[in-house]
Structure 1
Amino acid sequence: MTSEKSLLLVHAHPDDETIGTGATMAKYLAEGAHVTLVTCTAGEMGEILVPELAHLAADRDDALGAHRRGEIEAAMAALKAPDGSEIDHRWLGGFGTYRDSGMTWSADGTHAQPDPDARENAFWYADLTEAADHLVTIIREVRPQVLVTYDEFGNYGHPDHIQAHRVATYAAHLAAVPTYKKELGEAHEVDRIFWTAIAESWIREGLRAARAAGDDESLGGMDPEGPLPMATPDVDIAAAIDGTSYADQKVAAMRSYPTQMDMEQGMFAMTNSLGTTAWSHEHFRIAKGTVDGHGLTDLFAGL
């Protein structure tokens, strides 16, 4: 490694990284940082939006994971730096070690849970220490100052997002212990851990702009003045990355996931009314480390 800046992101499935942090990844890669992405599962249980690929589903050919592997490779190519530098992409434990757990809602609708058809190697059922050790090895190798993952609820409750949070949090702790499994590498402490988020003001402004442009369907037709379940109050946002210069790359990466994203429907269709800048800003909560106030515009500022 030649870069002084090292950023590590831990995501659950292919496409999660692009939706939530694609611009951030492209920005820091272009600026010369070492960017490592760890994907925990191949998304084998995902919904398939392309009718002619329906046979890939888990209850038919069960080949969606291999297909999504190709999709994430295309997305990483879309996010590469102008000098050709690429994101250092890894699969937690190696491709196929952990399988997508799927998601269903509880009968009372209060919480998400693994799909009843989840396999024994589903990520949700993974031994926490074993899974964390895979990540400890990576942390000690790439030695990031900054780690990005989800909050304790996985942002919206998906079991694999919650498990990714647990694994990333535990691994960051274990990696810093000098006497913990020395064979996994020299101890390293991550300076800052951020949780992905969407600032409430950003969503409201986007919805208002979409409606002003005649688009009443974006984000499921949610009222820009009404409740926004997935929004984070601005007061809790520690950092906001302006990825305007990388928005085109991010949307190109999003288009690499046709099985998972219909760019003409729902929130993804905001590009039709607002252009790629609808996806240009990414927000983060601070989970470890300190930042000066709530207006951080660089995840590495002060480090």
Structure 2
Amino acid sequence: MGTIVSFHAHPDDESIASGGTLALAAAAGHRTVLVFGTRGELGEPVPGVLAEGEQLTLRRTAEVFKSAEVLGVSRVEFLGWTDSGMMGEPTNDVPWCFWQADVEQAARRLATILEEEAPDVLTIYDDNGGYGHPDHIQVHRVGMRAAELCEVPVVAQGTMNRDLIQRAWAMAEEMGVEVPEPPDSETPPEGLTAEEGVTAAVTFGKAEADLTHWVDSSSVTKQKRASMLSHASQIGPDHFMAAMPDEIFTFVFGPEWYIVEERHQGEPPAIFTELFQPKPAA
């Protein structure tokens, strides 16, 4: 039996980014663990979903455990920082938000869990956090450092296939599905150093040529969608991801894309070779 620790910024990120990977791993008898940097306090709730006086933080925490049950996850942990909000917002400057966390300190907090679990694979995000969100970028930084501290054999940087997104949007439009405009701005976000500016342009995912591996989760897309819908405060039944026809949903969310860094020589862990496949040839 192998172990995957999947590190995320906010509740519901696990469903979208790695839900299929986790569901497949759990179904095969492997141990799966979720870790979150924040509880998603600044998420925008679906109108009317919260009861009077209900705190979004508590709702999103409960939703994570429901999602984890759907995916077969064995353990859920939170590192304890708060949601930083979108890049450039005043909430980025709050001292206790994740964006302001000292990377070394946060990495050591994550490393405590990694030492307990001794994972074969750690999943994080790419260096732009998928789409430039400060908490997602911080997941990359903290995860890479924690993996270094604990000598995790494989680090898989979850991302989105930018080229596939464009193809999926075109397919959806042809089928008459209403979808938001695909984001493709090259405007660098505020709050990053000059060296990080080019890397962190606000684009979704990475070009297909930059990806190294993928996980085919098409057999568990019903489970993955159920995991998404567990986060009812964020993804209502009329959300475009929830409303997609099965064919489009499987096309978009069946493959989960990664940039994999094998950190140590020798044979890769069995759980990695079982789940992760080299990117298909173009």
Q: If the length of structure 2 is used for normalisation, what is the TM-score?
A: 0.80
Name the counterpart of 2:209: 235
Displacement after TM superposition at 1:271 (Å): 3.6
Distance 2:108 2:134 in 1: 20
Label 1:271 to 1:289 Cα distance change in 2 as closer, same or farther (>3 A): farther
Displacement after TM superposition at 1:54 (Å): 7.9
Name the counterpart of 2:83: 100
Say whether residues 1:68 and 2:43 are aligned partners: no
Say whether residues 1:171 and 2:146 are aligned partners: yes
Name the counterpart of 2:74: 87
Say whether residues 1:152 and 2:135 are aligned partners: no
Name the counterpart of 1:257: 231
Displacement after TM superposition at 1:9 (Å): 1.1
On the 8 A contact 2:130/2:160 being kept in 1, the answer is no
On the 8 A contact 1:98/1:121 being kept in 2, the answer is yes
Displacement after TM superposition at 1:53 (Å): 2.0
Q: If the length of structure 1 is used for normalisation, what is the TM-score?
A: 0.75
Larger Rg: 1
Match of 1:48 among 34, 45, 48: 45
SS at match of 1:53: coil
The one-letter code sitting in structure 1 at the alignment partner of 2:28 is E
Displacement after TM superposition at 1:238 (Å): 0.9
Whose RCO is larger (CA < 8 A, sep 6+)?
2
Distance 1:34 1:195 in 2: 19
On the 8 A contact 1:79/1:250 being kept in 2, the answer is yes
Displacement after TM superposition at 1:11 (Å): 0.3
On the 8 A contact 1:240/1:297 being kept in 2, the answer is no
Match of 2:111 among 115, 131, 136: 136
Question: 5+ residue gaps in structure 2?
Answer: 184-201, 266-272
| Sequence identity percentage | 32
SS at match of 1:196: strand
Question: 5+ residue gaps in structure 1?
Answer: 81-85, 104-111, 176-188
Distance 2:93 2:222 in 1: 36
Name the counterpart of 1:200: 162
Match of 2:257 among 268, 276, 283: 283
Q: What is the aligned-residue RMSD (CA, Å)?
A: 2.8
On the 8 A contact 1:271/1:278 being kept in 2, the answer is no
Aligned length: 254
Label 1:242 to 1:152 Cα distance change in 2 as closer, same or farther (>3 A): same
Distance 2:248 2:125 in 1: 27
Name the counterpart of 1:209: 171
On the 8 A contact 1:7/1:34 being kept in 2, the answer is yes
Label 1:118 to 1:253 Cα distance change in 2 as closer, same or farther (>3 A): farther
Name the counterpart of 1:181: none
The one-letter code sitting in structure 1 at the alignment partner of 2:59 is H
On the 8 A contact 1:7/1:144 being kept in 2, the answer is yes
On the 8 A contact 2:213/2:277 being kept in 1, the answer is no
Displacement after TM superposition at 1:221 (Å): 4.0
Distance 1:142 1:238 in 2: 26
Name the counterpart of 1:298: 275
Flag as ranges the 4+ runs of structure 1 deviating above 6 A.
Answer: none
Say whether residues 1:120 and 2:95 are aligned partners: yes
